[in-house]
């Protein structure tokens, strides 16, 4: 994703008060963070390390079984441009809790997610949306590092994603949370309705029994 130079020169930072231990959550664009920090969020095992946030980036006829996690990591590194603060290119946000990398949020124009564009139900069912409209942004992943969960990291990231999209010219930003938290960890990467509601998102539609479309219009 190529951002306008004027925006790239003014990186977005959030310092949000925490309710525990007097600590604070800081959120920065991923290109301002190091690649090692992002990999610390995903961990060495588990769904984050396997996916590398490529679920909605798979190309036609690709599957996770068709290429290794190392290739997915390589693609993510190019997409985030981690470690290059002056870069106008990035695809998400990284949260820090007490200066430790704690969470990741994927947020960029909806058109960047080929998996969304090919899907017939989420987020399109029952809507009349132009799939080619790149002024609509999307949050496709909220991932909190093991050991940092239930401490407000996802909420901080969702709120920061709204500001990030707005300040980079988005007309709206969407999310596609799951309605039931009694699910396996892999399913929670889309976030929950409560987290997005607190960040100002409102329900637009229910394409399936377990998924919502929520949105903030600017």
pLDDT tens for the chain, 218 residues: list them: 444 333 333 333 444 333 333 359 999 999 999 999 999 999 999 889 999 999 999 999 998 888 899 999 999 999 999 999 999 889 999 999 999 999 999 999 999 999 999 998 999 999 999 999 999 999 999 999 999 999 999 999 999 999 999 999 999 999 999 987 677 667 789 999 999 999 999 999 999 999 999 999 99
Structural domains of the chain, with CATH: 12-217 (3.40.630.30)
Q: What is the pLDDT of residue 23?
A: 58
**Is residue 81 within 8 Å of residue 88, measured between CB atoms?**
no
The pLDDT value recorded for residue 182 is 72
The span from the CA of 80 to the CA of 38, in Å, is 10
The pLDDT assigned to 4 comes to 38
215: left (phi over 0), alpha (psi -120 to 50) or beta: beta
Per-residue CA distances from 132 to 7, 59, 108, 116, 161 (Å)? 23, 17, 14, 11, 21
**pTM (two decimals):** 0.88
pLDDT at residue 65, rounded to an integer? 86
Per-residue confidence (pLDDT) for residue 2, from 0 to 100:
41
Based on C-alpha coordinates, what's the Rg of the chain? 16
């Amino acid at each position: 994703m190529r951002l306008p130079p004027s925006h790239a020169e003014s990186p977005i930072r959030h310092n949000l008060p925490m309710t525990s231990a007097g600590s604070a959550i800081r959120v920065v664009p991923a290109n301002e963070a190091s690649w090692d920090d992002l990999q610390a969020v995903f961990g060495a095992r588990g769904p984050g390390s396997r996916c590398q946030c490529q679920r909605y980036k798979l190309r036609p006829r690709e599957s996770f079984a068709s290429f290794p996690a190392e290739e997915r990591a390589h693609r993510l590194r190019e997409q985030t441009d981690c470690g290059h603060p002056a870069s106008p290119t990035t695809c998400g946000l990284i949260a820090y809790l007490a200066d430790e990398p704690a969470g990741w949020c994927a947020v960029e124009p909806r058109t960047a997610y080929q998996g969304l564009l090919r899907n017939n139900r989420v987020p399109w069912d029952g809507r009349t949306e132009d799939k080619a409209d790149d002024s609509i942004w999307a949050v496709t992943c909220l991932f909190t590092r093991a050991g940092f969960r239930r401490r407000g990291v996802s909420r901080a990231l969702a709120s920061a994603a709204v500001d990030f999209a707005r300040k980079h010219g988005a007309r709206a930003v969407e999310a596609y949370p799951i309605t039931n938290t009694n699910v396996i960890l892999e399913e929670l990467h889309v976030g929950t309705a409560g987290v997005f509601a607190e960040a100002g998102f409102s329900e637009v539609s229910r394409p399936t029994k377990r998924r919502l479309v929520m949105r903030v219009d600017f």
